Structure 1
Amino acid sequence: MQLSSSLKVLSVGLIFLLIVTLSALYAVERKGRLLAELERDNVTKQRDSLLLTIVEQKERIESFNTLGIKNSEQLTAAKKEIDRLNDRLRSSSDRLLVKAECPVSMSSSTSSGGMEHESPARLSSSAREDYIHLRQMMAEVNQQVIYLQDYIKTQCLR
């Protein structure tokens, strides 16, 4: 009987040892699984954040390209209008009116005070070219300012 009782104690001890060992292994495995899940969640959040950043960057690039195209078209249209104005001024189909005062000529003092020999004031060809050049520069600067304002509104203030 003594042997049977010792065998029972040994069996219970082995079962207890087996249960403790399995519990410890389960705890270690559970901790490893929780750490792996936490790492997976962090990697998923990083991935989602990077994907969102990529989408936002693509949208910004598209917006930037659209802005550049729009302003380029507007500048081209302004330059074409200035070129048409220049052509009309050169062909004398249009005249450029400038507020100016022409001094009265004293050479014909016998005239009745009228300005019968006077011609209207006109720009010289170099002044006309300077005027056209200034108009072009103004159009370019105006478009650059509009472009930069749009750029700041759409790209920087998001």
Structure 2
Amino acid sequence: MTISPVRLALFVLLVGLLAWVGFDLVVDQRDAARRERDTAQYELTGLREAAKVSGEMLATRDAIDQQRTQELNDAKDKNLRLQRDVDDGRQRLLVKATCPAAVPTDSGAGRVADAGTAELAADARSDYFTLRNQLALTKSMVLGLQDHILKVCQR
């Protein structure tokens, strides 16, 4: 059995057309895969940069926190040492005040020089040290927040 040349030409033409359509489909799939790959690589680069910046911001925040916590602990230790010294009598808490004249004694009129130095009352000392601790905490918090805003938030 012989195939006529027209049929053979049509068959070859049909096979070529199918091969061309198949090849075109493969090329389109390849181009789509390349676009997806490029998009994924771009997103990956962005995510890596975001992670890097986020890590740097966290490190900065932690450094600020560590510095301010250390300063707060130092202030509290200083305050505790002062409180112990006052309690043991090694130091006194003097108050800037005027002292009333001493009551006249039998020997003569009282003078300002006869009055003792003004000192914080014993029952007010704990309040004084509480205020010092709160002042140190507030100062540390304010400075820490300022550092956080300047070094982390405004980055």
**TM-score scaled by length of structure 2:** 0.82
Matched, 1:128 2:125: yes
How many residues are paired up?
154
Q: Do the aligned residues in 1 keep the contact of 2:94 with 2:120 (CA within 8 Å)?
A: no
8 Å Cα contact 2:72/2:137 also seen in 1: yes
Q: Which 10-residue stretch deviates more, 63-72 or 136-145?
A: 63-72
Residue identity (%): 25
Query: How many Å apart are 1:80 and its aligned residue?
Result: 0.7
Aligned counterparts, 1:26-45, within 5 A: 26-45=23-42
- The aligned residue for residue 111 of structure 2 is 114
Is 1:21 the counterpart of 2:14? The answer is no
Alignment CA distance shift 1:43-1:113 (3 Å): same
Q: 1:9 aligns with which of 6, 10, 33?
A: 6
Letter in 2 for 1:52: E
State the shift of 1:33 in Å. Answer: 1.0
Structure 1 residue 110, shift from structure 2 partner: 6.7
Gaps of 5+ in 1: none
Larger relative contact order (Cα-Cα within 8 Å, sequence gap ≥ 6) = 1
Which of 48, 73, 78 is residue 76 of structure 1 equivalent to? 73
Instruction: Tell me which residue corresponds to 2:95.
Output: 98
**Deviation digits for residues 58-117 of structure 1 (CA, Å, limit 9, x no counterpart):** 333322222222111111001011112212222333333322111113434873663453
Deviations, residues 112-153 of structure 1 (Å, cap 9, x unaligned): 663453212111112222222111110011011111112222
Segments of 4+ in structure 1 off by > 4 A? none
Look up the SS of the partner of 1:63 in the other structure: helix
What's the TM-score, normalizing by structure 1?
Answer: 0.81
